[in-house]
Amino acid sequence: MPLRTFTDRQGVEWRVWSVTPEPNAALTLDEEFRAGWLCFERMDGGERRRLAFTDVPAAWEALPEERLDLLRRVALLSAPLVLDSAGDSVAHEPFEDEARARRSGPTSAVGGEGDVLM
């Protein structure tokens, strides 16, 4: 699962990742989000937005930052985040955080033996 970070035109940093809910969880979602969505989150945790996969272009993870920002601006604002007792944000949809935390695997391998995979 790709995780991208970008800066919007106001200089605010965001991260974006794809969310594909489990079939049983999808039944509790609005129909437009049952197949999945892109989740946009301010790096400071202040805002989260969703864009249904039906509105996401192919290879979104390779788009320039300006296009990602455009997608973010048309995405729907999610319900406000709740803070737990430690002051950390807690998503209303826990599988959004689970999807963000999943490793996407190596992105490249360069050289020979002993080189580190990124």
β-bridge mates for residue 19, sequence order: 37
Specify the pLDDT at position 24.
83
- The sheet that has 76-77: what strands, in order across it? 3-7, 13-19, 37-42, 48-52, 76-77
The whole model's pTM is what?
Answer: 0.69
What's the pLDDT tens digit per position in 48-106? 999 999 999 999 999 999 999 999 999 999 875 555 666 555 555 556 666 666 665 44
What's the pLDDT tens digit per position in 11-62? 999 999 999 988 887 778 888 988 999 999 999 988 999 999 999 999 999 9
CB 70 within 8 A of CB 51: no
**Which value, in Å, is the radius of gyration of the alpha carbons in the chain?**
16
